[in-house]
């Protein structure tokens, strides 16, 4: 007998995590993630290797999600997948898999925008933000301030014109020889350092736009000059360099977020994406929340980085609106809202 419950299987494969999750009636039951460690050897994600790893991981990850939720694939109401933005080859694996499965099971297919899903991750657990809210989405590929008026009604009101802030973290970490992905390692070092020890120029941008490529170059020249004077400069100042670069990046993020909050008169403030795990950003956000009387929302770490739980959550809202796609759909690496 067909169940009246809404049971969705969601697949995420936009970058270097292969993930599957099950949501039942809008409750995310699990979030299975296979992390691809192969990229660590290369200091960054290698697209071709990512696609191959997705190909290997996708069946076991989907099987585990179904088994863990004790759901038979024949009970599924819909299959959801990340259509974009992301790496073409990586997206194609999830897209093709989801299309085949929906076709075989004769159930609707739901496409999800990865950036919207990062924001909708806030509705997986309590406390949930109230509409309208602003979300600062900060990851390895994106830096955006989004005005969120409803589950599926959102608008990008500010974004980076070049690098993402996660890239600035990772590239700085690489220059310091900290490994990949360097953001979390840099964060750890920064906790023991002096954020005001070194000054780096904050790039001025109009309106609510960001730019993070300048600071990357500034750090490069700064290190080159200091290393000429003292070849042990990095070793002797590692924590202070990390703290100072992190401080500059956070200042840049927060200034525009505060500007957006005042301009739109919205005090419900959320952050999403991998960089929202940064301890300095979290602390600064809480401090600013007191000054500006914001209510601040940060998802659990599991739902900040790339995961299928957020895709399942987004897909549930789309299922309620009957926003389905047909079999002609394809991956969209530069997908917009």
Residue numbers of the site for ligand KG4 (CB under 6 A)?
15, 139-141, 166, 169-170, 181, 183-184, 187, 273-275, 277-278, 305-306
Shortest Cβ 220–ligand KG4 spacing (Å): 18
Which is nearer to ligand KG4, 16 or 111 (by Cβ)? 16
Q: How far apart are CA 164 and CA 17, in angstroms?
A: 19
Shortest Cβ 262–ligand KG4 spacing (Å): 26
* Beta carbons of 246 and 195 less than 8 angstroms apart: yes
Which is nearer to Zn ion, 77 or 116 (by Cβ)? 116
Shortest Cβ 282–ligand KG4 spacing (Å): 9
Residue nearest to ligand KG4 (CB): 274
Which is nearer to ligand KG4, 151 or 169 (by Cβ)? 169
Which is nearer to Zn ion, 116 or 248 (by Cβ)? 116
> H/E/C letters for each residue in 42-102?
HCCCCHHHHHHHHHHHHHHHHHHHHHHHCCCHHHCCEEEEEEECCCHHHHHHHHHHHHHHH
Shortest Cβ 103–ligand KG4 spacing (Å): 28
Nearest to 169 by CA among 208, 191, 138, 144: 138
275 contact choice in Zn ion, ligand KG4, none (CB below 5 to 8 Å, kind-dependent):
ligand KG4
Q: How far apart are CA 272 and CA 125, in angstroms?
A: 13
240 contact choice in Zn ion, ligand KG4, none (CB below 5 to 8 Å, kind-dependent):
none
Which is nearer to ligand KG4, 102 or 275 (by Cβ)? 275
Which is nearer to ligand KG4, 101 or 252 (by Cβ)? 252
Shortest Cβ 99–ligand KG4 spacing (Å): 23
Q: How far apart are CA 90 and CA 92, in angstroms?
A: 5
Task: State both tokens at 239.
Answer: 């924590």
57 contact choice in Zn ion, ligand KG4, none (CB below 5 to 8 Å, kind-dependent):
none
Strands 268-272 and 295-297, bridge-based pairing: parallel
Q: How far apart are CA 85 and CA 88, in angstroms?
A: 9
* Beta carbons of 134 and 156 less than 8 angstroms apart: no
Q: Give me the phi and psi of 43, to 5 degrees please.
A: 70, 20
277 contact choice in ligand KG4, Zn ion, none (CB below 5 to 8 Å, kind-dependent):
ligand KG4
Which is nearer to Zn ion, 16 or 306 (by Cβ)? 306
Helix axes 233-264, 279-292, angle to 10 degrees: 30
Q: How far apart are CA 185 and CA 242, in angstroms?
A: 9
89 contact choice in ligand KG4, Zn ion, none (CB below 5 to 8 Å, kind-dependent):
none
Shortest Cβ 273–Zn ion spacing (Å): 6
195 contact choice in ligand KG4, Zn ion, none (CB below 5 to 8 Å, kind-dependent):
none
**Strand order of the sheet with strand 143-150?**
153-159, 143-150, 133-138, 268-272, 295-297
Shortest Cβ 141–ligand KG4 spacing (Å): 4
Which is nearer to ligand KG4, 66 or 119 (by Cβ)? 119
> Could you give the dihedral angle defined by the CA atoms of residues 92, 94, 95 and 96, in that order, rounded to the nearest 10 degrees?
80
36 contact choice in Zn ion, ligand KG4, none (CB below 5 to 8 Å, kind-dependent):
none
Q: How far apart are CA 328 and CA 299, in angstroms?
A: 34
309 contact choice in Zn ion, ligand KG4, none (CB below 5 to 8 Å, kind-dependent):
none
Shortest Cβ 172–ligand KG4 spacing (Å): 10
């Amino acid at each position: 007998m067909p169940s009246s419950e809404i049971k969705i299987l969601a697949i995420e494969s936009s970058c270097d995590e292969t993930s599957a999750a099950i949501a039942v009636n809008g409750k995310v039951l699990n979030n299975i993630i296979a992390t691809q460690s192969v990229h660590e050897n290369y200091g960054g994600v290698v697209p071709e290797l990512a696609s191959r790893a997705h190909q290997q991981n996708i069946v076991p990850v989907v099987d585990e999600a179904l088994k863990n939720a004790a759901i038979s694939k024949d009970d599924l109401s819909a299959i959801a997948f990340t259509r974009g933005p992301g790496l073409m080859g990586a997206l194609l694996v999830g897209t093709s898999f989801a299309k085949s499965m929906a076709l075989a099971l004769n159930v609707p297919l739901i496409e999800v925008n990865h950036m919207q899903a990062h924001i909708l991750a806030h509705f997986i657990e309590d406390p949930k933000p109230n509409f309208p809210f602003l979300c600062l989405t900060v990851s390895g590929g994106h830096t955006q301030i989004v005005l969120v008026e409803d589950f599926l009604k959102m608008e990008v009101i500010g974004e980076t014109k070049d690098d993402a802030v996660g890239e600035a973290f990772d590239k700085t970490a690489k220059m310091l020889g900290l490994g990949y992905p360097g953001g979390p390692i840099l964060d750890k070092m920064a906790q023991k350092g002096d954020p005001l020890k070194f000054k780096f120029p904050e790039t001025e941008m109009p309106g609510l736009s960001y730019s993070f490529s300048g600071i990357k170059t500034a750090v490069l020249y700064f290190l080159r000059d200091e290393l000429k004077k003292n070849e042990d400069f990095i070793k002797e100042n590692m924590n202070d360099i990390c703290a100072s670069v992190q401080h500059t990046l956070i200042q840049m993020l927060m200034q525009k977020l505060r500007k957006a909050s005042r301009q739109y008169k919205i005090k419900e403030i959320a952050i999403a994406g991998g960089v929202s795990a940064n301890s300095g950003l979290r602390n600064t956000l809480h401090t600013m929340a007191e000054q500006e009387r914001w209510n601040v929302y940060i998802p659990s770490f599991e739902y900040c980085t790339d995961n299928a739980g957020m895709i399942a959550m987004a897909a549930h809202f789309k299922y309620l609106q009957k926003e389905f796609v047909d079999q002609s759909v394809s991956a969209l690496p530069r997908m917009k809202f």
